[in-house]
Each structure stands twice: as C-alpha cells, then as structure tokens.
Structure 1
Amino acid sequence: MILLVVVLLVLFVLSVPIAMALGLAAIPTLIDKNIPMIAIPQVIFESLDSFALMALPLYVLAGRLMQHGGIAGRLVDFAKALVSWVRGGLAAAVVMTSMLFATISGSSAATAAAIGSMLIPEMEKQKYPRPFSAATTASSGELGVIIPPSVAMVIYGVITGISITDLFVAGFLPGLMIGASLMTTAILIAWIMGYGERQPFRLGPWAGEVGRSLWRASLSLFMPVIILGGIFGGIFTATEAAVVAVGYALFLSLVVYRELSLRDLPRIFASAAVTSSVVMIIVAFAAMFAFALHLLRAPQQIGLLLTTVTENPIYFLLLVNIFLLIVGMFMETFAAIVILGPILSPIAVSYGIDPVHFGLIMIVNLAVGMVTPPVGVNLFIACGIARISMEQLMRPLSVFLAVLIANLLIITYVPSISLALLR
C-alpha cells in the first residue's frame, strides 16, 4: 500500500492530471498481484455503468440552464428584495440565493459561478469590499453539494451503496443550518465593519417589492418543490428527478421566460457535457485506484490501525475530520469521495456510526475543502470574478471558514440533525 500512495504522490508532484494519476498509480499494484491488464477497462466501464450516476450530467445541465435561462436571476432578485434593507443584507442575499440555487444545481462550483457573476459586481456598487464579497460567495457556494440534490451525494451513494434519497433527505437540515449561520456571519461582519449601503425600511414599498419579485420568481421557486417533493415523496428516484429538473428548466427558459432560444442550446449542452465528462473521468479512474486499494486490503488495514489508536467513536470522528480537512486542501472533492468513501464508510459502521450520517460528515468536510487553499475551486472562481488575488481573500475568508468548521463539528457530534427527517 505504501508503494501505491508513493506513486500517486509522485504523479501529483509531477502535475499529472488527477484522473490520469489515479489510474496510473494503480498499475504497479495490478502487476504485482498478477491481475491481467484487461481488468482496467472492465473496472472503468463497470464504475460508470450505473443508473444512479446518470443523475450527474443531468444536474449539471439543469444548473447551466438555470444560469443562462433567467431562472437564477429571478431567484437573486427575490433574495435581494427580502433582505437588502438590512445592513449587510446584500451579502445575506448571496447566501440565500446560493441556498435556493443549490436546491437545483447540485454543484458547488456552478453555484459560486452563477451567484458570484450576478452579485459580486452589485456588491461592489454598494461599497462592499471586493475581498469580502468574494469570501461570501466562495463560502456560500459550498452549499451546492450539501443542500439536495447534490452531485457529490450521488457519487458517494453510488460508490458506497448507500441510498442517494436518504443522503438527500439527510442533507436538508444541515444545509439550512450552515446557510443560516453564514447569513448571520455576513450581516454581523457588515454591521461591525460598516460595509454596504443601508436601505431605509418602509413596510409598504418593501412588501410591494417582495410581492413583485416573488411573483416573477414563483415558477422558479416551484422547481425545487417539484424535485425535492418528488424525491422525498417517493414519486421518482434521484436520477428521474434530474430528468424532471432538466425538462422543467428547458420549459421555463424556452417557453415561459423566453431568455433562451433553440440556437443557444448546443452551446449550453456542450458546456455541461465538458463539465460532466471531467467528473466522469475522475470517477472512472478513481475506481481503478479503489480497486487497487481493495486488492491490498487497505480498508481492513486502516481499520485495524485506527482501532489500535482508539476504540472511541468520538475520537475516531475527530481523527477522520482532521484527515479529511487536510485531504480537502489538496485533492479534488469528487476524487477524494471515490477514493476514501469505500475505505472509511465500512470502518465508520464498525464503530457503530450510521452510514448516512457518516456520508454527510464526509461530504460537508470535503465541501469545506472547496473553500480552502491551495486548490479550493470556489476560491479561484470568486477571485476571478472579483478580480483580486488569493492573498487578498484570505483575511475575510478566515471568519467564514471558522463558521464552516464549527458547523462541521456540530453535524459530526449531533447526528440527529442529519437523521431527524429519516425517522
């Protein structure tokens, strides 16, 4: 197992793409175990031959259609109307819109890109510092993989055999808790630092604006009701819900809002296909790496090592959280899930931890990795939109990171937050 890890680290140092590094690192183990090379395409195709995994490109496509078809814009307007009168309200609107967008897109990067491109320039106009605006956008973007439906949950469910619907249900309350804490943090920072322009509150004009924006966004807001209601109500599966999401987004964008035309669709479909293919390639080659780990009995060896360190599940979860936080800083989220999910999930079960609860812990933890340097994808997206350097972002981001880690610990040690809706 040491050879496998060393080869992988060397390939990372040589800047070999993650997917290729995962596949190449597994080859020495296959040779050592006398496994014929024909096993490579077999494992790759078997990892992708999954009905549940079909949801991944469909949720990516639904997010793209929302972003370009006027759906996301109406959600932004509604969130702004609700809270923009509070000092820091526009920052809170970033978080609120991210929560709404997350109920459809399933992607952290898509959420950060869509919301940031619309609201970071608006925040700059209202005298919010660009580093604060970027930090708010990057940290709230992680809700895209926590609030269902979530591409990360689809992948975790596929590789561990845990019900994707159960993971979706379990992610709902933790997502709301994280969103509420981020909104509160943004408002408090804005009050303390004097960020933003405070709009005078008048009940009549405010109620009128909320009513108008709610009417304009009503069909957009009905989209998560259809998707999540259908999943939780047992009407359709998570994959079938993704098909419904794409169909409904197409209907709104082409027929109702008319902000897309048929000539726009090839470009949007191509963009979604590229994004999906990148994730699928990582999943496929990470399955090769996981197969090599299985040949080496890595889950059993790591489990034995952990039980010699501690038999207390509280300490086990603390060690896992520290480990995953470090992994999330250097490894792409989907690759980390595919590699570590099959290893850590059965070990957690042996400690008496509910597998769905542990899945949420792992996903929330790695979501934090999306906003931690040096490879946090949300940071690069937010910095690019705000036109600032990573160094400028770090000071305001540190407060949001502290809040996210506090939420992670609460989710870890209060399992009822994740499991309440499943009972």
Structure 2
Amino acid sequence: MNPVVLIDAGLLTLLLVIGVPVPFCFAGAALFLMLFGDFGSTGFLVGAGFNKLNSIVLIAIPLYILAGGIMGAGGIAGRLIDLADSLIGRLRGGLGLVLIVATAVFGAISGMASSAVAAIGTVMIPRMVERGFDRGYAASLVAASSVLALLIPPSASMILYGWVTGTSILACFLAPIVPGLILVSLLGGWNLVLTRKMPLRQPDPAPRRDIVCEAFVRTKKAAAGLMMRLIILGFIYGGVTTPTEAAAVAVVYAIPVAIYVYREMNWRDMGQVVWRAGQTSGVLMIMIFFASMLGRIWTLENMPQEILESFLGISNNPIVLLLLANLFLMLIGMFMEDVSGILLAAPLLMPLMTEAGVDPIHFSAIIATNLGMGLITPPTAPLLYFAALVGKTNLSGMLKPALVFVVFAYLPVVLLTTFVPALSMWLPGLVLGLN
C-alpha cells in the first residue's frame, strides 16, 4: 500500500483521538492526500466528492433534521412525552420508561440521535430531577435511549448506509427494528433496577377512571404528532412515496401542526429552526464531501482488501471475523457519530462481511447497533458528552449507569444481532418478500 495513504490513515486517527471535530478530521486527511499524494491531478478527488453529494437520496437527511427541529420547537415532542407519562409515568421509575419510549418515538421521526438528546433531554431531565431521579442518571438514560434513533425507522443513518452500499433503503429501515425493540426492553428493565434505591416521588394515586380520562385527553393532544409517524411509514411502506419524498411530507405536515394546531411556534421561530437545521445539514454535507474523497483514494489503494487480508491473517473463522468487525465498529463509534462512522466503516468492512457470508441487509443492523454502542461507550462517548451538556451535569455522575447500559443492554443486543441473523432479516423478508 502507498505509504502516503498509510500516513493519511494515521493522521485521521490522530485527529479523531485528540478531539478535533469530525468534519475537520476528514477535511484534514483529504487535504493531506491532495498536497502530498502522488495521484497526478487532484481534480478527480474533488469530482468524487461532488458526485457523491449529487444524490437525491441525501436530500432526505436534511429534511428529517428539519422535521425533528420543528417537532422539538413546536410542542410535538412535549405532547408525546405527556402522553407516555399518562400511560406509564405512575409506575415506580416510570418516568425513566417514559423517557425511553418518547425518545424512541421522537428519534424515529427525526432520524438523528443528537436531535433526540436535544429535544427530549431538555424536557425530560428537569422533570426527572423534580421527581427524585439523579441528574447524572437521567442524562445517561437520555444518551442511551437516543441511540434508538439509529434503529427505529426512518433512520438517517440507514439512509446513508443504503446509499453508500447500494442496499435497499426500505430493507435497511426494517432490519434494525427487532434489535431496537429488544434494546427498549433491556433499557426499561435496567431502568427499574437502577432506580429502585432512588428517593423517587411518585404522582399521587388516582382512580382508574381519572387515569383513563387523562390518557384519553393527552392522546387527543398528541394525535397530530403520532399521525406524523404513521404518515411517514405508511407512505414509505405503502409505496406511495420514496423515503426522500416521505421526509418532505413530514416537513410539510409538521409546519402547520406546530404553528396552527399547537400554536407553540410562529413564522419567526420557524426561521430559527430552519437556520439551525441548515447549519447541521451543512456540516454533514461537508463531512460527506471529504469522506467521499478519502473513500475514493482508499478504494484505489485497495485499503478494504488490505483490511480483509489482515483480518483473515488472524483467522478465517466467520465467528472470529464478525467479532473483529464488531470491535472495529465499536472503536469507530467511540470517536465519531453514526453518520461519519458509516461513511468510514461501511465501504471498508463490506469485503469482510462478504467473506464472512453476511448479507448487506444483516450488516446494516450490525453496523447500527455497534456504532450506537460506541456512541455511549467511554472514554470518548460523544453522546454522553452531549447529554451532559444538555442535562447540565458532569460526566463522572453518568459513567456508572452508562457502563451498565453498555454492558448489560447494548452488548447483548450487538451479539444477538450479529450471530442471530433472523432478528434483522425476518422483518425485511416478511414485508418486502426478501429471501
């Protein structure tokens, strides 16, 4: 392999380790190749970046980001939380279950884990602290449950994975659902265990009739938000729209709901939401541009094949290869968020997955669960840091529950997803008729 490419890979790793923002890491590595690589004209590198951006599939990502921003600012997320609270909030530790369910629903519409942390964390963490939950625990649970945005469709990460690997995006949406539901169950169970000694203040007991009436009222208030999810998935799986068109429908639907139905936004607020969504989308597009340039060079230099050969040098046993791939993915997830992790890992590991006999649809669930675990795995854990910022707490108070979630919730899901293909292949086969 070209020594310049090896140095470039080392430079990228170094920049990630020392905490340089991920887009600048990719940009620095790409510029290093352009300055010091012996590739003749570098015009083809710039062309590779622009060609990757010239895809209608990618339009879905900023649209889902915008839809998530409108949900958070327009009161949709708050009403979903109130509905879940009326159903399960009276249980001991029930507010933690509310957080998990609300984050799963919100993340499933916004498609971004960081959006779920921002929107749900700002509402739920103060509410949980008022009920006696430890602030560090509440922030840790927000970070852990926000990863469900990667697993419950429509996921921006799965859109990107399908685009990078040429796999059906609909199948990629479906593959991580069962692992995601298992994760919801495990997070909920450990929430009950970890909160049993906390001095929680439960809501006053109420007659069943009052509880049912409250749930009914809150269901009516949240109905417009719930319909948003049903419309998105119904349009996609009903064949009415593509995922990109469904994202546009979500935005068009969310705007009048937030402004005219819930009346918690005005058009001036809408401008701020669009501006923030544009900033996030711009950063993602820059990252995709430079990552595509890197991917083109690494492919020309046979880096995926080199990784395959190095792994096969350790063992050609499919089980060992899958364990090595999981470790590789977890390490990547510890240093970067899911979008950049997929841009880097999917093309590099695809030859290894082919050698191990793993279907690309199955691999979509493997990569989603692994990168999700990496996002909350210390010492880097980008989502933990973000949740600490949102929850106004320090990382030390979050580490113990975070490690419990990683070891006893995420790790079992990763292993089950990896070694029981039926968990990720059953639903695509049922819905799409795939063998």
Report the TM-score range of the alignment, normalised by the length of the smaller protein: over 0.9
Q: 1:3 aligns with which of 7, 13, 32?
A: 7
SS at match of 2:404: helix
Contact 1:101 1:111 in 2 (8 A): yes
1:14-413 paired onto structure 2 within 5 Å: 16-27=20-31, 29=33, 32-193=37-198, 195-197=200-202, 199-200=204-205, 202-402=207-407, 403-413=409-419
Change (3 A) 1:370 1:327: same
Q: 1-side partners of 2:169 and 2:199: how far apart?
A: 43
TM-fit CA distance, 1:153: 1.0
The CA deviation string for residues 107-130 of structure 1, in whole angstroms up to 9 with x for no partner, is 001101111110111111111111
330-339 vs 369-378, which moves further: 369-378
Q: 2-side partners of 1:56 and 1:92: how far apart?
A: 28
Aligned length: 423
> Which residue does the alignment assign to 1:418?
424
Contact 1:170 1:356 in 2 (8 A): yes
Contact 1:87 1:198 in 2 (8 A): no
Change (3 A) 1:337 1:219: same
Q: 2-side partners of 1:17 and 1:186: how far apart?
A: 32
259-268 vs 16-25, which moves further: 16-25
Contact 1:26 1:292 in 2 (8 A): no
Change (3 A) 1:32 1:121: closer
Q: 2-side partners of 1:361 and 1:236: how far apart?
A: 27
Q: 2-side partners of 1:392 and 1:240: how far apart?
A: 42
Q: 1-side partners of 2:221 and 2:337: how far apart?
A: 37
| TM norm structure 2 | 0.92
Change (3 A) 1:192 1:417: farther
Structure 1: which amino acid aligns with 2:151? I
Change (3 A) 1:35 1:162: farther
The CA deviation string for residues 160-198 of structure 1, in whole angstroms up to 9 with x for no partner, is 111111111112222222112211211222225454436
Q: 1-side partners of 2:18 and 2:363: how far apart?
A: 33
TM-fit CA distance, 1:391: 1.1
The CA deviation string for residues 201-225 of structure 1, in whole angstroms up to 9 with x for no partner, is 6322221111111111112111111
Change (3 A) 1:28 1:261: closer
Change (3 A) 1:353 1:13: closer
Contact 1:87 1:199 in 2 (8 A): no
SS at match of 2:195: helix
SS at match of 2:418: helix
Structure 2: which amino acid aligns with 1:25? A
The CA deviation string for residues 235-293 of structure 1, in whole angstroms up to 9 with x for no partner, is 21111110011011112112222221122211110010001111111111111111121
Stretches of structure 2 that go unaligned for 5 or more consecutive residues are 430-435
| TM norm structure 1 | 0.95
Structure 1: which amino acid aligns with 2:424? S
Structure 2: which amino acid aligns with 1:160? T
Q: 1-side partners of 2:47 and 2:187: how far apart?
A: 44
Stretches of structure 1 that go unaligned for 5 or more consecutive residues are none
Structure 2: which amino acid aligns with 1:348? M
TM-fit CA distance, 1:333: 2.6
Structure 1: which amino acid aligns with 2:418? T
Contact 2:84 2:98 in 1 (8 A): yes
Q: Percent identity?
A: 35
